């Protein structure tokens, strides 16, 4: 086993995932750039440098997940950090206006096909990828799992009539992040005795392709919290936090 820690970031060929990979590489990690499109992953890895390697990984495809886990075992021999970052906000084409995305999120108008597609990546993808990587994480001296969630998925915040983003809470993207929070806590409880830390983080309203670049923060800002938690080998487990501290579930 190499002395250099290894981190796998899903959906890392662009946006927050790419920035997380860059930041972890700067902290002397070997970073594995998970990307559904291997070519895009290679371009992203090359932009980071020698510490980065592209991994073909479609979180909705069992064969792809299995092959990725096998390659990590064979080629790198360890995995210290898993960042479940891959996510979609809707099933429509790139560049869909935010107004349309928000409208499609409403319970009364949401398409079940849209709900299924988003949950397939944002929720079921995490449930599929995490167990596949657990054998490697169990062998790490301080395994960590970071699930990139969103404060918009907080039930407590959205139950407050004064919450400014409450009108955008619906059954597609935001509900998928609520479900991801539940999945995070479930893994944290199961793995508590192993020492593997499992936490959910909100990057804040970051300008990425996920929201058609309508966010108010840069990817550099958005990556700070996932990176901070990924680096914290002695931190807590089963938490949900954002740029300004803890978030209520």
The overall longest dimension of the chain from CA atoms, in Å, is 53
Contact 153, 200 (CB under 8 A): no
Do residues 86 and 10 lie in contact, with contact meaning Cβ atoms separated by under 8 Å?
A: yes
Q: What is the SS3 string spanning the chain?
A: CCCCCEEEECCCCCHHHHHHHHHHHHCCCEEEEEECCHHHHHHHHHHHCCCEEEEECCCCCHHHHHHHHHHHHHHHCCCCEEEECCCCCCCCCCCCCHHHHHHHCCCCCCCHHHHHHHHHHHHHHHHHHHHHHHHHHHHCCCCEEEEECCHHHCHHHHCCCCCCCHHHCCCCHHHHHHHHHHHHHHHHHHHHHHCCEEEEECCCCECCHHHCCCCCECHHHHHHHHHHHHHCCCCCCCCEEECCEECCC
| Torsion 103-104-105-111 (CA) sign | positive
Catalytic annotation, residues: 173, 177
The gap between the terminal CA atoms of the chain, to the nearest Å, is 37
């Amino acid at each position: 086993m190499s002395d250099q820690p290894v981190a796998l970031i899903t959906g890392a060929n662009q946006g927050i995932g790419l920035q997380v990979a860059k930041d972890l590489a700067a902290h002397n990690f070997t970073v594995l750039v998970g990307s559904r499109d291997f070519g895009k992953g290679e371009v992203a890895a090359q932009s980071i440098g020698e510490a980065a390697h592209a991994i073909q990984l479609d979180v909705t495809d069992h064969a792809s997940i299995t092959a990725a886990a096998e390659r990590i075992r064979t080629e790198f021999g360890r995995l210290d950090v898993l960042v479940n970052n891959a996510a979609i906000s809707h099933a429509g084409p790139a560049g869909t206006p935010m107004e349309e995305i928000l409208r499609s999120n409403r319970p009364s108008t949401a398409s079940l096909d849209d709900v299924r597609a988003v949950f397939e990546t944002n929720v079921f993808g995490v449930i599929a990828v995490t167990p596949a990587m657990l054998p490697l994480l169990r062998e790490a001296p301080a395994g960590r799992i970071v699930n990139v969630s969103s404060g918009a998925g907080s039930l407590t915040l959205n139950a407050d009539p004064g919450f400014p983003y409450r009108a955008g809470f619906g059954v597609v993207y935001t509900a998928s992040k609520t479900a991801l929070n539940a999945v995070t806590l479930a893994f944290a409880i199961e793995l508590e005795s192993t020492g593997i830390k499992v936490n959910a983080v909100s990057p804040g309203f970051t300008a990425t392709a996920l929201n058609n670049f309508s966010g108010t923060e840069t990817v550099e800002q958005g990556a700070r919290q996932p990176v901070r938690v990924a680096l914290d080998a002695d931190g807590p487990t089963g938490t949900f936090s954002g740029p300004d501290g803890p978030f209520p579930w």
